[in-house]
Structure 1
């Protein structure tokens, strides 16, 4: 994996408080897992940025190495890797994702 791709991923992760690497866009997610991840973030009322891995094969492969996580989507909060859609769903249902966002000082719409 090229250092350039890893650097671009690191820049993206550090450029947004909440960042979702996903397949597609929030309006047109290209897989069910990405769709579920977007729905969770939307329901929590948090502002987030996304990276469409389908637009960049280097990012699509590189993010898996960056996080040491084999699947997409991947959620980052304040530069910290949180997990994929299954972990997001578990944390959301347990109230842990909302708590994490609050602890990290991420503003959420009421």
Structure 2
């Protein structure tokens, strides 16, 4: 698992915002991933996505990496934020946009 953790750490460390999801932003493969993409798009930030359906090691490894059992998973500036329910709660409360602003996350280009 350490090689998988290294791969995950690299992606998380090299991108301000990373969403581990099922599918892609243009073709999400579950409702939760679709909702997470919609939230990020509404926030107007640039982000990297990782399709866990394309790599079973990442799909399992991300769950132990974050100690969080479900996908999607959002990371901002290297910190685990949560899944789609937490994203939705934070978005509705204005906390997600505040977090992005405070962390200096670049707007989508």
TM-score (norm 1): 0.96
Q: How does 1:1-16 map to 2 (within 5 A)?
A: 2-16=1-15
The CA deviation string for residues 2-50 of structure 1, in whole angstroms up to 9 with x for no partner, is: 2100100110110100000000000000000000000000011100000
* Distance in 1, Cα, partners of 2:56 & 2:25: 19
Question: Where does residue 53 of structure 2 map in the other structure?
Answer: 54
> Are 2:100 and 1:98 aligned?
no
Q: Give secondary structure in 1 for the equivalent of 2:50.
A: strand
Moved over 2 A (4+): none
Question: Where does residue 28 of structure 1 map in the other structure?
Answer: 27
Q: Give secondary structure in 2 for the equivalent of 1:51.
A: strand
* Distance in 1, Cα, partners of 2:43 & 2:31: 18
Q: Give secondary structure in 2 for the equivalent of 1:105.
A: coil
Number of residues paired by the alignment? Answer: 108
CA RMSD in angstroms, aligned pairs only: 0.7
Q: Give secondary structure in 2 for the equivalent of 1:86.
A: helix
Q: Give secondary structure in 2 for the equivalent of 1:29.
A: coil
Unaligned 5+ residue runs, structure 2? none
* Distance in 2, Cα, partners of 1:13 & 1:46: 16
TM-score (norm 2): 0.97
* Distance in 2, Cα, partners of 1:7 & 1:46: 25
